[in-house]
Structure 1
C-alpha cells in the first residue's frame, strides 16, 4: 500500500503543478520557488510530517520535500547555534542532495554529450 500511496500522491502533486502552469501565467521558476516555500511552511506548521508518513516517497521527492528538508535543517541549526543557524541550517541539511545532483549531472553530461537547442 505504501507504493500505491506514494504513486498517487506524487502524481497528484505533479498534476496540480501542471494545472498551475497551464492555467496561470506563472513561470516555471516561480512555481518551483512556490513549491519549496510551501514545503517549508507546511513543515514549520507541523503538517508536512504526517503527510510524509502517509505518502512516503510521493511527498519527499517533489520540491515540497526539499522545502521541508531545508526547514528541518534550519530548525535544528537554530536550536544548536542560535541566530546564525538561520543562515547555515538549510545548507547543512541539503548539502548531500545538492552535491549528488551536481556530480551525477556532470557524469551524465560526459556520457551523453549534451547539445544546445536551436
Structure 2
C-alpha cells in the first residue's frame, strides 16, 4: 500500500506540473521554482511533513520535497546554531543531494559527449 500512495502522490505532483506547463504561459523554470517555494511554504505551515509521512518518496522526490528539505534544514540549524542557521541550514541539509547531482551530471556529460544544437 505504501508504494501505491507514493506513486499516486508523486504522480499527482507531476500532473500539477504538467498541467501548468500545458495550460499556462509560465516557463518551465518558473514552474520548477514555484514547486520549490511551495515546498518551503507548505513545510513552514506544517502541511508538508504529514504528506511525507503518508506518501514517503512520492512527496520527497519531487522538487517540492527539495523545498521541504531546505526548510527543515533551516529550522534544525536555527535550533542548533541560532540566527546563523538561517544562512547555513538549507545548503547543509541538501549538500549530499546537490553534490551527487553535480557529480552525476558531469559524469553523464563526459560519457555521452553531448553536442551543441
Same fold at TM > 0.5:
yes
1:115 partner SS: coil
Shift of 1:9: 1.0
TM-score, normalization: structure 1?
0.95
Aligned residues: 117
Partners of 1:21 and 1:94 in 2: CA distance: 27
5 Å matches for 1:48-87? 48-87=48-87
5 Å matches for 1:1-118? 1-117=1-117
Partners of 2:109 and 2:57 in 1: CA distance: 27
Runs (4+) of structure 1 exceeding 6 A deviation are none
* Structure 1: gaps of 5 or more residues: none
Please list the CA deviations of residues 83-112 of structure 1 after superposition, one character each: whole Å capped at 9, or x if unmatched: 111111001001110000011111111111
RMSD: 0.9
TM-score, normalization: structure 2?
0.95
Partners of 1:61 and 1:13 in 2: CA distance: 10
1:26 partner SS: coil
Partners of 2:17 and 2:110 in 1: CA distance: 31
